[in-house]
């Protein structure tokens, strides 16, 4: 045994917090080991979450067990998964700065570029225009 400790180092200690965190991150119900999914047709399989440790359960499994199954938690209250749990951040117009810089207008520039492209198409022949479009499509510069 002493040789094993020297070879592998100290044994890993798993705490109740580690177990609770693993259960909270799991997508399987700790009672039936089935997948807990959000959109299910059967309301008894809809997800609920323990209010203390955040572990997901099927609604029917929670009601049958009537408390959290996580080692060390055993909380007796759950809520439907995805429900509002507290205050929301509310931003009013008065919270925004008085002067917000306006974004530059690109309408005139865009229109100018469109006109330049039309002029270039009119000036060049059909085959030159087609060839330049093919080159641009493949990433080549004129």
Per the CB < 8 A criterion, the answer to whether 75 and 51 are in contact is yes
Give residue-wise pLDDT tens across range 75-130. 899 888 877 766 777 888 888 777 766 666 666 677 788 888 877 777 767 777 77
Same domain, 10 and 51: yes
* pTM of the predicted protein model: 0.45
- Considering the domain boundaries, does residue 70 fall inside one? yes
Q: What is the CATH number of the domain that holds 9?
A: 3.30.40
Would you tell me how many other CB atoms lie within 10 Å of the CB of residue 73?
A: 20
pLDDT tens, 29-87?
888 888 888 777 788 888 898 888 888 899 999 999 888 888 778 889 988 887 776 67
Sheet holding 78-80, edge to edge: 56-58, 47-50, 78-80
Neighbours of 38 (CB within 10 A): 10
- What domain range is 132 assigned to? 106-142
Residues 57 and 21 in one domain: yes
């Amino acid at each position: 045994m002493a040789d094993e400790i020297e070879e592998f180092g100290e044994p890993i200690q798993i705490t109740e917090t580690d177990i609770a965190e693993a259960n909270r991150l799991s997508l399987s119900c700790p009672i039936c080991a089935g997948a807990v999914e959000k959109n299910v047709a059967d309301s008894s399989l809809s997800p609920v979450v323990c209010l203390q440790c955040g572990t997901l359960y099927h609604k029917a499994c929670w009601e049958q067990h009537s408390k959290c199954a996580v080692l060390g938690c055993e909380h007796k209250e759950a809520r439907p998964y995805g429900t509002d749990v507290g205050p929301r951040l509310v931003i009013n117009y008065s919270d925004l700065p008085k002067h917000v810089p306006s974004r530059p207008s690109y309408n005139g520039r865009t229109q100018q570029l469109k006109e330049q492209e039309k002029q270039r198409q009119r000036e060049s022949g059909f085959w030159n225009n087609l060839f330049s479009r093919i080159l641009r499509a493949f990433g080549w510069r004129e």
